[in-house]
Chains A and B, each alone.
Chain A
Amino acid sequence: MTINVSMTVNGTQVSHDIEPRMLLVHFIRETLALTGTHWGCDTSNCGACVVRIDGQPVKSCTILAAMCDGHEVATVESLEVDGQLDPIQMGFHERHALQCGFCTPGMLMTTRALLDENPDPTDHEIRVAISGAICRCTGYKNIVSAVRWAADHEAATANREG
């Protein structure tokens, strides 16, 4: 059986014929050739595959592409707009919150969603938000620091513009 799925990915409408069993992570990586989204496990534990569906972070390895028909998907490639990095990306760079970079797209999407909902999170709230994502390299300390950097940066920008 093949089905047609149509969805918006990073603002662009896409439409493809796929097997229903195709997981969203493979649809993104293989069919759309957006390889920024990664995978690291078989059991929905590691969070390397996190993307946003209708704004919510989800583990794309545990979603069928078919389930996204009619929905909006955002991947890490959507963060930089017109050559301008998102503050969360800047924060990760500023605060050395990545080493091998493999968990980074999932962490960026998860923490971008956190800041969208909670612009001033505490360190504990940040740790809770990323508790579904594993990093083997950083020990998380700098990731927390990076999210705080981004939050402060966005608050300062808002104040200037407000």
Chain B
Amino acid sequence: MQTPAVFEYERATSVDGAIASLERLGSEARVIAGGHSLLPMMKLRLANPEHLIDINDLTELSYIREQEGEIRIGAMTRHVDLLRSDLLAQHFPLFRDAETVIADPVVRNRGTIGGSLCQADAAEDLSAVCAAAKASVVIRGSGGERVVSMDGFHVRPFTTAVGAAEILTEVRLPVRPDGGSAHDKVERRAGDWAIAAASAAVWMQDGTIGDAGIALSAVGLTTIHVTRAEDLLRGKAPSDELFAEAGAIASEDCSPTSDGRGPVDYKRHLAGVLTQRALRRATARALHQEA
């Protein structure tokens, strides 16, 4: 089996302690949580951090709760808990849609939402989910905390707004009335990365779409936030024609590359189809019409 290179290791006993270690150890130090993104890369020698700071003991960061009009999810919350949470499913069903098809059930026992978001792989589902849900994240450094919206979170491929000596601690999802959401994904096989995936969230207002969030996975260098389609939807009554238009925008505004999962034209096509499907389902849920 392939094995990682040598590294130094410590176990963080507090968030601030982990941050202090990151500051002390510098750029060759990485935080490790679930490890199911980082360890495979280390085994293949694609990542060779000299120090690992294990934050698995920071169980205080594992929670899903309702607080101040938001659903707040601790960064150490495992995928399996996101899947099972009825609170989350009630307000943001797109999480359960996504978690059902993220990796496999055994991997979901370890991977965390913080790890997934910080990996910033464009094919990763939760980034699109959080973007569509208008989430913001809490980032803590030695100077204190700041809140960053998902818009500003993905800076570049594999790079987020989390700085070198900072840790993502929480994801916040604003709860608004009459919302519905869905996530739809096409993959070559169960457990595979998405060929393309679409997350959609809508909040209804007097029979029209008051606000919408649409984001795509795996069809760009980072998560694609389809703001042009969101603008189109606002203030309009839902209809298949409207969703088809939104899908067409999604198709145009993504920038997929050709790879083993599919060529550019197929991925664009999927972006459009899945955006429509996700919007249809999100709206049906918002209107309590889903079977």
Within 8 Å by CB, do A and B touch in the complex?
yes
Contact B40 A21 (CB under 8 A): no
Size class of B's contact patch?
20 to 34
Taking a contact as CB atoms under 8 Å apart, the answer to whether A44 and B7 are in contact is no
In the assembled complex, the Cα of A129 lies from the Cα of B104 at a distance in Å of 8
Alpha-carbon separation in the docked complex, A59 to B80 (Å): 14
Q: What's the Cα separation between A19 and B4 when bound, in Å? A: 11
Determine whether A85 belongs to the interface, using a CB cutoff of 8 Å to chain B: no
Q: State whether the Cβ of B9 lies closer than 8 Å to any Cβ in chain A.
A: yes
Query: CB of A79 within 8 A of chain B?
Result: no
Q: Could you tell me the dominant secondary structure of chain B's interface residues?
A: loop
Number of residues of chain A lying within 8 A (CB) of chain B = 32
Complex: chain B residue closest to A21, CB-CB: B4
A63-71, A93-101, A147-155: which lies at the B interface? A63-71
Q: Are A1 and B107 in contact (CB under 8 A)?
A: no
* CB–CB B9/A132 < 8 A: no
Q: Please give, as numbers and ranges, the residues of chain B lying within 8 Å of A59 by CB-CB distance.
A: 36, 106-107, 110
Closest Cβ of chain B to A162, distance in Å, is: 28
B106's partner among A20, A26, A50 (CB-CB below 8 A) is A50
Contacts known (A20-B8, A20-B9, A20-B52); A42 close to B40, Cβ less than 8 A: yes
Is A135 an interface residue when CB atoms closer than 8 A count as contact? no
In the assembled complex, the Cα of A128 lies from the Cα of B56 at a distance in Å of 26
For B39, what are the chain A residues with a Cβ–Cβ distance below 8 Å? 23, 44, 62-64
B106 to chain A, nearest CB (A): 4
The 10 A-B residue pairs with the shortest CB-CB distance, nearest first, are: A132-B104, A20-B9, A132-B106, A42-B2, A56-B109, A21-B4, A131-B190, A57-B106, A62-B39, A39-B1
Residues of A with Cβ closer than 8 Å to B?
1, 3, 19-21, 23, 25-26, 39, 42-45, 47, 50, 56-59, 61-64, 66-67, 69, 110, 128-129, 131-133
Report which B residues bind A (CB closer than 8 A). Answer: 1-9, 11, 32, 35-36, 39-40, 43-44, 52, 54, 56, 80, 103-107, 109-110, 190-191
Can you spell out 21 A-B residue pairs with CB atoms less than 8 angstroms apart? A20-B7, A21-B3, A21-B9, A23-B3, A42-B2, A44-B40, A47-B104, A47-B106, A58-B106, A58-B109, A59-B107, A62-B110, A63-B35, A63-B39, A64-B52, A66-B11, A110-B106, A131-B190, A132-B106, A132-B191, A133-B106
